[in-house]
Amino acid sequence: MSGPALVVSTFSAALVVAAVIACGAAMIAVHPLLAVVVNVIVAVGVAPTLWQWRAVPVWRWVVYGAAAGVALGWIALLAGAR
The pLDDT of residue 80 is: 83
> Is residue 1 within a helix (H) or strand (E), and if so which, with residue range?
none
Q: Give the residue-averaged pLDDT of 51-79.
A: 92
**Judging by beta carbons within 10 Å of its beta carbon (0-12, 13-18, 19+), is residue 26 exposed, middle or buried?**
exposed
Of the listed ranges 8-12, 71-75, 76-80, the least confidently predicted one is 76-80
Please give the angle made by the CA atoms of 45, 73 and 14, to the nearest 5 degrees.
95
pLDDT digits (tens, 9 = 90+) for 3-62: 888 999 999 999 999 999 999 999 989 998 988 899 899 989 999 998 999 889 889 999
Instruction: Give the separation between CA 63 and CA 69, rounded to whole angstroms.
Output: 10
pTM of structure: 0.85
